[in-house]
Amino acid sequence: MTEPLSKKLGKALSHDMASDLLIRAHVPRADGQGFMVITFLRERVDALVDMGGGNAGIMLKSGTKIPVAMEYDALEKAIYFADLRQSYVLDLRAVTGAAAARALIPDAARDFAATAPRKDENKRTFDDVPLRIAFFARQTQQQNFQMCVLDEEDIDWKSVEGHTDGKNGPYTKFKLRYGESPFGGREVQFDMPRPKFMELYNLAKMNGHEELDLREWTRRRDPDNTQKPPPPPPPPPRLG
Evaluate whether residue 125 is within a structural domain.
Answer: no
Q: What is the pLDDT of residue 122?
A: 53
Contact of 62 with 44, CB cutoff 8 Å: yes
Output the pLDDT for position 105: 62
**Do 138 and 99 share a structural domain?**
no
Beta strands in the chain (DSSP E): 22-28, 35-41, 45-52, 55-60, 65-68, 89-91, 132-138, 145-151, 155-166, 169-176, 187-190, 211-213
φ/ψ of 26, rounded to 5, equals -95, 140
User: Are 141 and 180 found together in one domain?
Assistant: yes
Q: Which residue range forms the structural domain that includes residue 53?
A: 19-113
CA dist 176 and 154 (Å) reads 6
148 and 95 fall within a common domain: no
Shared domain for 102 and 175, answered yes or no, is: no
Sign, CA dihedral 107-74-155-202, equals positive
Q: Which residues pair with 134 in a beta bridge?
A: 149, 213
Q: Report pLDDT for 127.
A: 62
pTM above 0.85, yes or no: no
Q: Within a domain: residue 42?
A: yes
Residues recorded for the chain: 240
Amino acid residing at 61: K
Mean pLDDT of the chain: 78
Whole-number pLDDT of residue 15: 40
The last residue of one of the domains, among 113, 145, 170, is: 113
Q: How many domains does one find in the chain?
A: 2
Of 113, 147, 173, the domain-final residue: 113
In this prediction, the residues of the chain whose per-residue pLDDT falls under 50 are 5-18, 108-116, 222-227
Can you tell me the distance from the alpha carbon of 204 to that of 198, in angstroms, rounded to the nearest whole number?
Answer: 10
- Please tell me the distance from the alpha carbon of residue 149 to that of residue 133, in angstroms, as a whole number: 6
Using N-to-C axis directions, what is the helix angle for 194-206 and 5-12, rounded to 10°? 140
Are the C-beta atoms of 190 and 172 separated by less than 8 Å?
yes
Q: What is the structure's pLDDT at 126?
A: 55
**What pLDDT is stored for residue 108 in this prediction?**
43
4 lies in a domain?
no
Asked whether residue 240 is domain-assigned, the answer is no
What φ, ψ does residue 135 adopt, rounded to 5°? -160, 175
Q: Identify whether 149 is part of a domain.
A: yes
184: left (phi over 0), alpha (psi -120 to 50) or beta: left
What are the tens digits of pLDDT across the range 113-129? 444 455 555 555 556 77
- Whether residue 58 sits in one domain with residue 143: no
Whether 187 and 152 map to the same domain: the answer is: yes
Shared-domain flag, residues 137 and 105: no
pLDDT confidence of residue 64: 81
Q: What is the model's pLDDT at position 73?
A: 92
Q: For residue 205, how many C-alpha atoms fall within 13 Å in the half-sphere facing its CB? A: 22
In this structure, is residue 3 part of a structural domain? no
Residues 68-106: pLDDT tens digits? 999 999 999 999 888 888 888 999 999 988 888 766 665
- Residues 27 and 57 placed together within one structural domain of the fold: yes
